[in-house]
Chains A and B, each alone.
Chain A
Amino acid sequence: MSTPSIRRQLTAFLLIVLCVGAPALSFAAYWLMLTEINEVMDDSLKQAALLLADKDLRGAIASSGVTPVLSSTDAESKLTAIARRRDGSLLFASTPELALDFNPIPGMSVQEAKGERWNVFTVLQFDRIVQVAQPVSVRRDMAAESASQLLIPLCVVIILMGALLFGALRQGMRPLEIANRALARRGIDSLEPLALDGIPAELLPFVRTLNELLQRLERAVREQRGFLADAAHELRSPITALQLQAQILERSHDPRERAAASDELAAGVHRMRRLVEQLLSLSRSSADSPALDSFASLNLGELARSIVLRWIQRAERRCIDLGADVRDEARVQGDVTQLETLLNNLVENALRYTSAGGTVDVIARVDAGVPVLAVADDGPGIATGDMGRIFDRFYRGSASVGNAEQGSGLGLAIVKVIAQRHGAEVSLHPGLGGAGVEVRVSFRHERAAPPRA
């Protein structure tokens, strides 16, 4: 199957119209010619007959075919003249071998003779009958010849029109080709919009839409590059730590020193692994297409309880009171794995910043019809200077300094991306008893469809 081409289609359409139109035009020309020729020829038949009627025709036969009234050009028009006496005897014949015998019908008539049809003009004089005749076919041939002469210019016009149309269409399509070539040269680095000047009005909407797509692509590429640059930068710190820890282990000889150095190295490896996992999780959840098919109706209360069970041992080791606070059985449409990742990140953060004896709550409730998931603690809270940047990738709040277990700075960025994919909003509020912080994820109303990202 060939791809449809506007140029080919238009050209073919026009050629069909011309090919049907040209014979129709020729036929019309033929008819007009024939009518005209009939008029002229009838007239000349009549003139010849009247002339012949007044002539003295005695002895004319002897002159054997030399007709006094018919010129040599009449031979081409196959005119033939006959004169007879009233009694039917032949008085004169322009071509004696064609001594035709027509009925004496006065004026114009069409009669059969010798297997042919003839146009006959008859004049009845007192002593004779004069008839001038011409085969009907002669007139038709003449009309056909004239009409066929028209065919050549017509064909030329058809060919010229076709060529012109092809050229005009090619010219008209040129901006498209230029735009196409410009696009073909583009790489992932050049996503600037196409120039709109010279683009025909018919193509403008298409090019505009294309430009919008390019813009979105450019934003996505820039975002990805930024992410990659950030990630590469952030990987440097744990790698530096690992390299130093390995070198220290190498040059520690005392068993106690070695044990301490090897613990440090293990912690460094753990931190590296955690960062890589977080990076993967972020890249997975920021993949462009929303995996709506993995969305199912799920119970936020159950989710909150399962997360508490997962973290309870670690919380107890650090003497933090971790619990679920399920006030309503809220349901949302969502991806269970992603929402678990979201809660894991929130709980991990809360545990990191809450000191021994503190409290962390995983909350599921419905606020004025809106399903809400939240993690609240009574830790140090978030410094006002950090508020604006806390959801940025790799941003670590000032409270993280000197903290025994440093985070990757990706947790809240992951939370934000996952929330966005669920059409939910993330907001910060004062935490338990007015201290600490509550990170709140507010979903859309249960019945509202999740958004297309």
Chain B
Amino acid sequence: MRLLLVEDDTMIGRALVRGLTQVGFSVDWVTDGASGLSALSQHVHDLVLLDIGLPRMDGLSLLKCVRASQNDTLVLVISARDGVPERIAGLNAGADDYLLKPFDLDELIARVRALLRRRTGSATGVLVAGSLTLDPSRRTVLQGAREVSLTAKEFALLETLMQKPGAVVSRERLEQSIYGWVDEPASNTLEVHLHYLRRKLGADLIRNVRGVGYRLDV
């Protein structure tokens, strides 16, 4: 899952990037509203963590611009503005959730997962495809009754594939789910991660549709 963080406070920004990366998200971080808007126009993020008090363009204006351009990326507002009117304004402008500073890192992660889960239509968040069961909040994968140990990137790839079992997922979409901007992926690293994933789960589970992408065969 690839997140965009729009936050001008460098300390909060650094801590959030580290904390979210530790649990397997890939995070892109910009420090002002205008950069946030241009990042969002690329449509590569699953969810935006948006601060309200931002230089160059405040969070609310950014949110209104994004929604006006029919972009329905999930938006979780994180703000120090605690007044009820501010929260209502945030939600009315198109935010999917509102979290007040200071917040607990675990709560933020839980809310991000909850929002992403709602988007994929699974209330429990547990993805099931054939004999595979993937629980994003506990970060566990079961094949039958056997627990499979995966790296963060392998887990992210499998999660993306399991959201639409049987459907072909493009190579770009898979890359976006595991790489932030800072990662500079080499052209064949996606194949490397997929190779290890196949080794752990069975070679014929993930099929390559040449020139299009990959699909989970169940």
A214 to B95, CA, bound (A): 43
Chain A residues within an 8 Å CB radius of B11 = 238, 241, 245, 264, 267-268, 271, 406
The interface bits of chain A over 228-253 (1 if a CB of B lies within 8 angstroms of the residue's CB, else 0) are: 00000100111111111101100110
Q: Are B12 and A240 in contact (CB under 8 A)?
A: yes
- In the assembled complex, A153 has its CB within 8 A of some CB on chain B: no
Question: Cα distance A8–B104 when bound, in Å?
Answer: 69
Answer whether residue A404 sits at the interface, using C-beta atoms and an 8 A cutoff: yes
- Contact partners of B22 in chain A: CB under 8 A: 248, 251-252
Residues of A with C-beta under 8 A to B55: 396, 398, 401
Q: Is the CB of B105 within 8 A of A401?
A: no
Q: Does B14 touch A at the CB level, under 8 Å?
A: yes
Which of B19, B80, B106 lies in contact with A237, CB distance below 8 A?
B80
- Is A244 touching B9 in the complex (CB atoms < 8 A)? no
Q: Once the chains bind, are A248 and B15 in contact (CB under 8 Å)?
A: yes
Given the complex of chains A and B, what is the CA–CA distance between A245 and B14 in angstroms?
9
Q: In the complex, how many residues of chain B place their beta carbon closer than 8 angstroms to a beta carbon of chain A?
A: 23
Does A261 have its Cβ within 8 Å of any Cβ on chain B?
Answer: yes
Q: Are B102 and A239 in contact (CB under 8 A)?
A: yes
Given A237-B80, A241-B11, A401:B102 Cβ within 8 A: no
Q: A-B pairs with CB below 8 Å: how many?
A: 68
For B15, give the chain A residue with the smallest CB separation: A244
CB distance from B58 to the nearest CB of A (A): 12
Judge if A433 is at the interface, Cβ distance under 8 Å: no
Q: Which residues of A contact B31 (CB under 8 A)?
A: 401-402
A199 to chain B, nearest CB (A): 40
Instruction: Scan B65-93; emit 1 where CB is below 8 A from any A CB, else 0.
Output: 00000000000000011000000000000
Contact A236 B101 (CB under 8 A): yes
Q: Provided the pairs A241-B15, A243-B102, A401-B31 are in contact, do residues A236 and B80 lie with their beta carbons within 8 angstroms?
A: yes
Q: In the bound complex, what is the Cα–Cα distance between A398 and B105 (angstroms)?
A: 28
What chain B residues lie within 8 Å of A252 (beta carbons)?
22
Contacts of A209 in B (CB 8 A): none
Who on chain A is nearest to B80 by CB? A236
Nearest B-chain residue to A397, judged by Cβ: B55
Is B138 part of the binding interface, using a Cβ–Cβ cutoff of 8 Å? no
Find out whether the CB atom of A233 lies under 8 angstroms from the CB atom of B81: yes
A264 near B103 with CB under 8 A, answer no
Q: Is the CB of B10 within 8 A of A244?
A: no
Does A245 contact B8, Cβ atoms closer than 8 Å?
no
Q: Are A244 and B80 in contact (CB under 8 A)?
A: no
Q: Which residue of A lies closest to B105 (CB)?
A: A247
Residue contact A237 to B12, C-beta cutoff 8 Å: yes
Q: Which chain B residues (1-30) contact chain A, with CB distance < 8 Å?
A: 8-12, 14-16, 18-19, 22
Asked whether A264 lies within 8 Å of B80 as measured between CB atoms, the reply is no
Contacts of A264 in B (CB 8 A): 11, 14-15
Residue of A nearest to B12 (CB): A241
A124 to chain B, nearest CB (A): 121
The docked-state distance in angstroms from the alpha carbon of A236 to that of B83 is 14
Q: A237-B9, A251-B22 are in contact. Are A244 and B16 (CB under 8 A)?
A: yes
Closest-CB distance, B43 to chain A (whole angstroms): 25
Docked complex Cα distance between A233 and B58 (Å):
16
Q: Is the CB of B19 within 8 A of A244?
A: yes
Query: In the assembled complex, how far is the CB of residue B157 from the closest CB belonging to chain A, in whole angstroms?
Result: 23
* Contacts of B36-68 to chain A: CB distance below 8 A: 55-56
A2 interface residue per 8 A CB criterion: no
- Of all chain B residues, the one with the shortest Cβ separation from A245 is B15
- What is the CA–CA distance of A199 and B55 in the complex, to the nearest angstrom? 53
Interface membership of chain A positions 389-412, coded 1 if the CB is closer than 8 angstroms to chain B and 0 otherwise: 000000010100111101000000
Residues of B within 8 Å of A398, CB to CB, are 32, 55-56
A406 to B13, CA, bound (A): 12
- Contact call A406/B9, Cβ cutoff below 8 A: yes
Q: Roughly how many angstroms separate A267 CA and B103 CA in the complex, as a whole number?
A: 19
Tell me the minimal C-beta distance from B171 to chain A in angstroms.
32
Q: Least Cβ distance of A274 to chain B in Å?
A: 12
Q: How far is the CB of B125 from chain A (nearest CB, A)?
A: 21
CB distance from B132 to the nearest CB of A (A): 27
Q: Are A240 and B103 interface neighbours, CB within 8 A? A: yes
Neighbouring A residues of B10 by C-beta, 8 Å:
402-404, 406
The 6 closest A-B pairs by CB, nearest first: A244-B15, A241-B11, A236-B80, A240-B102, A240-B101, A247-B105
Question: Could you list some 29 contacts between A and B, CB below 8 A?
Answer: A233-B80, A237-B9, A239-B101, A239-B102, A240-B9, A240-B101, A240-B102, A240-B103, A241-B9, A241-B11, A241-B12, A241-B15, A243-B102, A243-B105, A244-B15, A244-B105, A247-B19, A247-B104, A247-B105, A248-B15, A251-B22, A252-B22, A261-B18, A264-B11, A264-B15, A401-B31, A401-B32, A402-B10, A406-B9
Q: Given contact pairs A239-B101, A241-B11, enumerate 11 new A-B contacts (beta carbons under 8 Å).
A: A239-B102, A240-B102, A244-B105, A247-B106, A248-B19, A267-B11, A398-B55, A398-B56, A401-B31, A402-B10, A406-B9
